[in-house]
């Protein structure tokens, strides 16, 4: 500040020599300069002192935080065990960490669901235990039945003359018709009753009833449920209908077929059910000789079917082509100075792709690359009319590679065709043209 004022003063005087008699003399200026120097030295000394103090404070702070960190690392809360009939989520017992307690189905939580390891190295909240839910609390057994609470469910011991899961049905007369041929599972089992065969069918079965201490218990085979007013019949559970819009997703990816006591998934023609029984897997007709392609044709496996394709070299004016591999035709050498011939494509390559319906897009379907590029420029372009332009684009992916991109998902069944042209140029003069014809078979289904 002082230095700045002094410099302004000196400048002012030098710029205005006419005010000479008002300006301080050289000695006066030198004296002022010395004073300023003294002042600056004093400032410097006090600044250095405060810097030293600051450094000391920082060191003190650093050492104290270091100690705290070491203490935090070594400090954990006592180990928490998972409750009986429950699970503990969270393994760390360090300060600030949290554990959660979940009870098994049929059990309810008593205490805290979440507990945090506190600075005091104790857990927050209350000890967590899992208590068996009393399903009998709502008195589900009717007509004088006694409720027996079991894990995750209850059972009713019905009064005489009543049956059913909640003792809701009067016991039909035939329940008391004892049959000695039925197997008794324990001494407590008095007898088992069966229905006459006439009322049974694959989707309806008799229930198995046992009479214990004068009351009747009826159960069904897996896949069946007690039905009707009486507990005497079991009806097949239609899993396809029941789990039609299940949270876990559809039971089957294609068609669900209800069967007595179960269900199965079925697939459209051309697919087999996968090992997990839910999904559908394409049958490779080309690998398994389940195709009718002739010797001249090539079998292309597609999702849900197959295609027999025949590669014939194109017939275009001014040039002739010869097949050099099953999927490639090359131009026969052109006569010298035949410009019309030398401007026709040097080769045609054929590629067949099988894709599923509604494939996500944009995505690269095919790449065309020049192995030994000639000339100074490579150009890639899309041929093949309006249909090709609606579904595809061609982009360059590096100096020598072009890629055919699917622009938007295609709903099958459909067959799409596109042609990618690669041309080599030297100073804008065409050296060669190479055509790649891509045929894409889109399946009807999305698997």
Stretch that binds Ca ion, among 30-38, 230-238, 246-254, 330-338 (CB under 5 A): 230-238
Residue 441 touching Ca ion (CB under 5 A): no
Residue whose pair of structure tokens reads 């045609």 in the numeric block: 348
> Which of 118, 290 has the CB closer to Ca ion?
290
Q: How many residues does the chain have?
A: 447
Stretch that binds Ca ion, among 153-161, 277-285, 333-341, 404-412 (CB under 5 A): 277-285
Show the tokens assigned to 386: 């309006």
> Which of 154, 263 has the CB closer to Ca ion?
263
Q: Give the number of other Cβ atoms within 10 Å of residue 80's Cβ.
A: 16
Among 230, 236, 421, 424, binds Ca ion (CB under 5 A): 236
> Which of 225, 377 has the CB closer to Ca ion?
225
Show contacts with Ca ion in window 105-134 (CB under 5 A). none
Stretch that binds Ca ion, among 6-14, 110-118, 168-176, 251-259 (CB under 5 A): 251-259
Q: What is the rounded distance in angstroms from the CA atom of residue 135 to the CA atom of residue 153?
A: 6
Stretch that binds Ca ion, among 88-96, 146-154, 276-284, 329-337 (CB under 5 A): 276-284
DSSP annotation of 25: P
Angle at CA of residue 229, ends 227 and 232, nearest 5°: 60
The minimum distance between CB 328 and Ca ion, in angstroms, equals 25
Among 258, 347, 369, 439, binds Ca ion (CB under 5 A): 258
Show contacts with Ca ion in window 401-430 (CB under 5 A). none
> Which of 304, 345 has the CB closer to Ca ion?
304
> Which of 230, 282 has the CB closer to Ca ion?
282
Q: Using the CB atoms, write b or e for 83-103: b if 16+ within 10 Å.
A: beebeeeeeebebeeebebeb
> Which of 170, 268 has the CB closer to Ca ion?
268
Is 114 within 8 Å of 123 (Cβ atoms)? no
Q: What is the rounded distance in angstroms from the CA atom of residue 100 to the CA atom of residue 82?
A: 9
> Which of 301, 342 has the CB closer to Ca ion?
301
Of 406, 394, 403, which is closest to residue 359 (Cα–Cα)?
406
Binding mask 289-328 for Ca ion (x = CB under 5 A): ------------x---------------------------
The minimum distance between CB 236 and Ca ion, in angstroms, equals 4
> Which residues are bridge partners to 307 per DSSP?
300
Binding mask 359-398 for Ca ion (x = CB under 5 A): ----------------------------------------
The minimum distance between CB 259 and Ca ion, in angstroms, equals 5
Q: Using the CB atoms, write b or e for 373-387: b if 16+ within 10 Å.
A: eebeebebebebeee
Among 230, 282, 419, 421, binds Ca ion (CB under 5 A): 282
The minimum distance between CB 270 and Ca ion, in angstroms, equals 6
Is 158 within 8 Å of 141 (Cβ atoms)? yes
> Which of 282, 419 has the CB closer to Ca ion?
282
Q: What is the rounded distance in angstroms from the CA atom of residue 226 to the CA atom of residue 165?
A: 8
> Which of 130, 299 has the CB closer to Ca ion?
299
CA distances from 126 to 101, 122, 239, 333 (A): 11, 11, 43, 90
The minimum distance between CB 302 and Ca ion, in angstroms, equals 5
Stretch that binds Ca ion, among 39-47, 57-65, 107-115, 250-258 (CB under 5 A): 250-258
Residue whose pair of structure tokens reads 């003399």 in the numeric block: 25
> Which of 238, 417 has the CB closer to Ca ion?
238
Show contacts with Ca ion in window 59-98 (CB under 5 A). none
Helix axes 26-74, 2-15, angle to 10 degrees: 150
Stretch that binds Ca ion, among 7-15, 54-62, 275-283, 292-300 (CB under 5 A): 275-283
Q: What is the rounded distance in angstroms from the CA atom of residue 295 to the CA atom of residue 311?
A: 12
The overall longest dimension of the chain from CA atoms, in Å, is 144
Stretch that binds Ca ion, among 183-191, 213-221, 235-243, 364-372 (CB under 5 A): 235-243
Total residues contacting Ca ion by CB under 5 A comes to 5
Could you give the count of Cα atoms lying within 13 Å of 83 in the half-sphere of its Cβ?
Answer: 23
Q: What is the rounded distance in angstroms from the CA atom of residue 252 to the CA atom of residue 265?
A: 5
Could you give the count of Cα atoms lying within 13 Å of 254 in the half-sphere of its Cβ?
Answer: 21
Binding mask 12-41 for Ca ion (x = CB under 5 A): ------------------------------
CA distances from 102 to 38, 61, 84, 88, 425 (A): 76, 43, 10, 6, 70
Q: What is the rounded distance in angstroms from the CA atom of residue 114 to the CA atom of residue 131?
A: 17
> Which of 267, 394 has the CB closer to Ca ion?
267
Q: Which residues bind Ca ion (CB under 5 A)?
A: 236, 258, 263, 282, 301
């Amino acid at each position: 500040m002082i230095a700045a004022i002094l410099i302004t003063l000196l400048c002012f005087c030098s710029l205005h020599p006419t005010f000479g008699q008002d300006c301080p003399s050289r000695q006066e200026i030198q004296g002022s300069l010395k004073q300023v120097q003294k002042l600056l030295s004093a400032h410097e000394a006090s600044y250095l002192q405060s810097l030293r103090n600051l450094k000391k404070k920082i060191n003190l702070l650093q050492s104290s935080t270091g100690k705290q960190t070491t203490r935090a690392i070594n400090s954990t809360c006592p180990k928490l065990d998972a409750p009986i009939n429950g699970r503990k989520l969270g393994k760390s017992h360090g300060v600030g960490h949290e554990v959660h307690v979940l009870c098994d189905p049929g059990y309810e939580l008593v205490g805290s669901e979440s507990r945090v390891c506190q600075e005091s190295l104790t857990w927050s909240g209350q000890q967590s235990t899992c208590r068996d839910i009393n399903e009998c609390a709502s008195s589900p057994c009717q007509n004088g039945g006694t409720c027996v609470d079991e894990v995750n469910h209850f059972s009713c011991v019905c009064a005489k003359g009543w049956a059913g899961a909640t003792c809701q049905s009067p016991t039909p007369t035939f329940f008391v018709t004892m049959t000695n041929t039925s197997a008794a599972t324990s001494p407590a089992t008095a007898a088992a009753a069966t229905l006459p065969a006439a009322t049974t069918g694959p989707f309806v079965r008799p229930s198995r009833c046992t009479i214990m201490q004068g009351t009747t218990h009826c159960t069904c085979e897996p896949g069946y449920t007690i039905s009707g007013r009486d507990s005497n019949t079991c009806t097949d559970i239609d899993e396809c209908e029941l789990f039609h819009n299940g949270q876990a997703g559809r039971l089957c990816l294609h068609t669900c077929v209800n069967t007595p006591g179960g269900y199965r998934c079925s697939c459209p023609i051309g697919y087999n059910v996968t090992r997990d029984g839910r999904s559908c897997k394409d049958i490779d007709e080309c690998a398994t000789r389940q195709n009718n392609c002739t010797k001249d044709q090539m079998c292309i496996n597609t999702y849900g079917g197959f295609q027999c394709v025949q590669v014939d070299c194109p017939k275009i004016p001014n040039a002739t082509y010869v097949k050099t591999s099953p999927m490639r035709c090359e131009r026969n050498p052109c006569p010298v100075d035949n410009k019309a011939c030398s401007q026709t494509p040097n080769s045609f390559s054929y590629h067949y792709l099988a894709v599923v319906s509604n494939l996500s897009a944009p995505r690269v379907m095919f790449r065309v690359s020049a192995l030994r590029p000639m000339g100074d420029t490579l150009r890639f372009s899309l041929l093949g009319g309006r249909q090709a332009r609606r579904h595809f684009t061609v982009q360059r992916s590096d100096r020598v590679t072009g890629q055919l991109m699917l622009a938007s998902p295609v709903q099958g069944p459909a067959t799409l065709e596109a042609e990618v042209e690669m041309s080599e140029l030297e100073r804008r003069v065409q050296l060669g043209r190479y055509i790649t014809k891509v045929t894409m078979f889109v399946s009807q289904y999305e698997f």
